[in-house]
Amino acid sequence: MFIELPNELEATLLALSLPAWTLDGPFLSRSTIEQYRAALTATPRFAETTSTLHHALAEEGYAVLRLGNLAKELGDDGRFLRLTTVFAAEVATPFSPFPRWTLWKNIGVNLGKDPGKSSGIGYNGFHMDLVNATLPPDYTTLLCVRPDPLGGGASILSDTHAAVARLTHSCRALLAESAYHYGSFFNMFAVGEEYKPFPVLSDHGFIRFTAKMLSRSDLEPKHAEAARELAGELVRGQVSFMLQPGDYLIVDQRRFLHGREALHPGQETVPVADRRLLLQLFLRAGTPAVGPCRRPTSARCPAESRQD
Ligand SMILES: O=C(O)CCC(=O)C(=O)O
Ligand SMILES: [Fe+2]
């Protein structure tokens, strides 16, 4: 589901000057959300566009808001990111679970990284973000700043419940057992506690799955086999598309798992400044409770969970 902005709305947004946002712990502050909303409510066709976005997410489980014209006009002076944050905040509350990053996290290209992970250059299989947290983000969102100039790195999405429905009863029974684990968990904000081991068919409508646990977690053979069957069904039902500059993908983590095709070979020949770049932001639905874990004030970067 791709949503274009009406020309009239684009023109008004281009002329708009929004203040920098502030955070309340890991969350975008209420005062920023109210300020942004107040600046936008009178904007022609804004309400209609956000309503289209809400419908798309409710009906389809994901949406791509096409903000390419705004991106082209505004460049990366911060104004574009503020406008994107406005749309994000109309869906749910933006927050950052990681102490290292501010609201938006860069996903660039790191030639030295495990190719199958975030920022790697390989195939990043179907997964839920923060799969091992008791309260994973309700939505994961990815803003495309630059696609892979060599043409790789398509986004992949799969309807999780549809994939599970195609599995046998016995496979589903194995996936409902608390027998799965992946990654580590510490220094995380607003995503609850570590969940280990977890069932794949789990609480709150989440299907806790990451294809990375097939090769990187030590699972019992019968559980590994059930997870492999789910991985196969996810691939069978997948949709894929290439995000264009300014495309903003929003995924309901209860309904869709996401991933990325491999980048095109030859990334080492691409100048660093031209390499693929996405920005990631998580959203919390409902009224977020700011937990006891406040963002550290020191500039030092503490160690943090490894599970991307
Ligand atoms: O690189 C991408 O397109 C997706 C990355 C991703 O899913 C992640 O970092 O969690
Ligand atoms: Fe992800």
Domain boundaries, the chain: 2-159+242-284
Distance 260 CA to ligand 1 centre (A): 6
Please tell me the predicted confidence (pLDDT) of residue 16. Answer: 93
Given the CA of residue 153, which atom of ligand 1 is nearest to it?
3
If you take atom 2 of ligand 1, which residue's CA is the nearest one?
Answer: 260
Task: For residues 256 and 206, give the distance between their C-alpha atoms in angstroms, rounded to a whole number.
Answer: 9
Task: For residues 277 and 214, give the distance between their C-alpha atoms in angstroms, rounded to a whole number.
Answer: 27
Q: What global pTM score does this model have?
A: 0.94
Label the pairing between strands 27-28 and 23-24.
antiparallel
Please tell me the predicted confidence (pLDDT) of residue 307. Answer: 60
Could you tell me the CATH superfamily of domain 2-159+242-284?
Clavaminate synthase-like (3.60.130.10)
Task: For residues 167 and 233, give the distance between their C-alpha atoms in angstroms, rounded to a whole number.
Answer: 8
Does the beta carbon of 141 sit less than 6 angstroms from any atom of ligand 1? no
Given the CA of residue 243, which atom of ligand 1 is nearest to it?
3
Distance 15 CA to ligand 1 centre (A): 32
Taking alpha carbons only, the member of 131, 119, 222 closest to residue 172 is 222
If you take atom 9 of ligand 1, which residue's CA is the nearest one?
Answer: 118
Task: For residues 11 and 117, give the distance between their C-alpha atoms in angstroms, rounded to a whole number.
Answer: 38
Rounded to 5 degrees, φ, ψ at 157 are -135, 145
Q: How far is C-alpha 61 from the chain's CA centre?
A: 13
Which residues are bridge partners to 65 per DSSP? 3, 248
Among 142, 240, 242, 282, which residue has the most ligand 1 atoms within 8 Å of its CB, making it the best to mutate?
Answer: 142
Owner of token pair 């014209």: 69
Please tell me the predicted confidence (pLDDT) of residue 306. Answer: 60
Strand, helix or coil for residue 43: coil
Does the beta carbon of 258 sit less than 6 angstroms from any atom of ligand 1? yes
If you take atom 3 of ligand 1, which residue's CA is the nearest one?
Answer: 260
Per-residue pLDDT of the chain (308 residues; tens, 9 = 90+): 899 999 999 999 999 999 999 999 999 999 999 999 999 988 999 999 999 999 999 999 999 999 999 999 998 779 999 999 999 999 999 999 988 778 999 999 999 999 999 999 999 999 999 999 999 999 999 999 999 999 999 999 999 999 999 999 999 999 999 999 999 998 899 999 999 999 999 877 899 999 999 998 899 999 999 999 999 999 999 999 999 999 999 999 999 999 999 999 999 999 999 999 999 999 999 866 544 444 444 333 345 556 66
